[in-house]
Amino acid sequence: MVVFNMHGLSGHRPLSFRVVRHPAQAVVLGFAGAVAVGTVLLMLPVSRTGEGGAAFVPALFTATSAVCVTGLTVVDTPTYWSGFGEAVILALIQVGGFGIMTLASLLGLLVSRRMGLRTRLTAAAETKAVGLGDVRAVVKGVVKVSLLFEAVTAVCLTIRFRFAYDESLATAAYHGVFHAVSAFNNAGFALYSDNLMGFVGDPWICLPIAVAVIAGGLGFPVLLELRRQLHAPRRWSLHTKMTVTMTAVLLAGGAVFVTVSEWRNPATLGALDTPGRLLAGFFQAVMPRTAGFNSLDYGQMHEGTLLGTNVLMFIGGGSAGTAGGIKVTTFLVLLYVVLAEVRGERSVEAFDRRIDDRVARQALSVVLLSIAAVMSATLVLLVLTDLSTDKVLFEAVSAFATVGLSTGITADLPTSGHLVLTALMFLGRLGPITLVSALALHERQRLYELPEGRPIIG
């Protein structure tokens, strides 16, 4: 936050004004600026393989998808964009992913500074990851974690591309770096026209990408704490316990669900051998967390599989990371709220900790507003197109949760539909962060209470 003080010579009170009134405004303006710059760069003739530059809407859509680390595309990335255009997309992905992790962590620090000293000390002791005000350490930690996972993944992919697929060293390295950055930042952009369907049975490609996706989706605070307390889970903070537990449950449950649902589908898993089915089932359970790579054709999946994938995409990954969705902690908090209400308990407890009522209200606000955004966009897209509800809903959830998975209808949507998805991607990426930070920083104490009322529920 920038503050200017102007002192008059006559001793009058200093005049203060703030350039940015709220941290959430800086987040929105920063990402909007990145999208604008990316759009301009992608519209340059040098960014396209054909003659002339890209049109405004495809450039805007691609830039938004890259900055918001979504992965939805309206044009074929490896054939439509030149090497320069692909480099712009890669840079936008890195800026979007790194910026989100950094800004989310810094907003967490900012919120902690607005609390009382005792609450701040309690939060510091609880998290054991982020101190009260060491912003420089936070930024350095994000950079180190990002580069480490991206470098290791890039090396693994480069070796595989070079020796198993006979790509030149330069091409293998380029593909390795691009997909490593795209994976850790949960972007889902690929340099192959069929995404990763050509590697559906290759564990040396799928597993490194899956690990990078999971790591990026856990979130920086969790990664930092796991590095320090990996072998002492009892000492983990509540946030880490909730994130790791829910991530493991969703990965295992998602893998079983996709594998069983598509096991006999000849257009997806049915065409593979048993090891290939298990690998592809696990891979497609990881991607809704929210990376957007696909080794199977989602357009050929059963409607039940698409509906289950919608749930996985909507929940998303961990907070203060590169994943989208409402976040696993938000979902788990509401789950504990329901359990407490069913049991008739007055307080909500999770992992031997009491969940603050304000946190529960914030979680409920995020979920309801997210549902409203997805449903509104789905209705608009249904009016604009003649597509089936299941495919349109899948597209809307994928855009809002910044996943990037698609049944193949993205490019077929009208220009107005592309603009709806563009707005949905931007809202989905920045909405939860700005909303929660705004709610936390806007806390105020009322000096009176109104009489209690009990409307009939249900």
pLDDT for 93-117, tens place per residue?
A: 998 887 755 655 555 555 555 544 4
CA distances to 96, 185, 235, 249, 328 from 214, rounded to whole Å, are 17, 10, 22, 13, 13
What residue ranges of the chain have pLDDT lower than 50? 1-20, 115-132
pLDDT value of residue 22: 55
Work out whether the CA dihedral 403, 175, 283, 221 comes out positive or negative.
Answer: negative
**Structural domain range at position 240:** 3-441
Return the percentage of the chain with pLDDT > 90, whole number.
59
Q: Give yes or no for a contact between 44 and 124, defined as CB atoms under 8 angstroms apart.
A: no
- Domain count of the chain? 1
What end-to-end distance do the CA atoms of the chain give, in Å?
A: 45
The reply to whether 123 falls in a domain is: yes
- Report if residue 394 sits inside a domain: yes
pLDDT at 456: 72
pTM listed for this prediction: 0.85
Q: Is residue 448 assigned to a domain? A: no
Are residues 67 and 35 in contact, defined by beta-carbon separation less than 8 angstroms? yes
Look at residue 351 and tell me if it is in a domain. Answer: yes
Helix (H) or strand (E) holding 62: helix 56-67
What pLDDT shows up at residue 438? 58
Report if residue 457 sits inside a domain.
no
34 within a domain of the structure (yes/no)? yes
Residue 214 amino acid letter:
I
Record the tokens describing residue 133, joined without a space.
């005000």
Is 260 contained in some domain? yes
Q: Is residue 403 part of a domain?
A: yes
pLDDT in tens, 24-62: 666 777 788 899 999 999 999 999 998 888 999 999 999
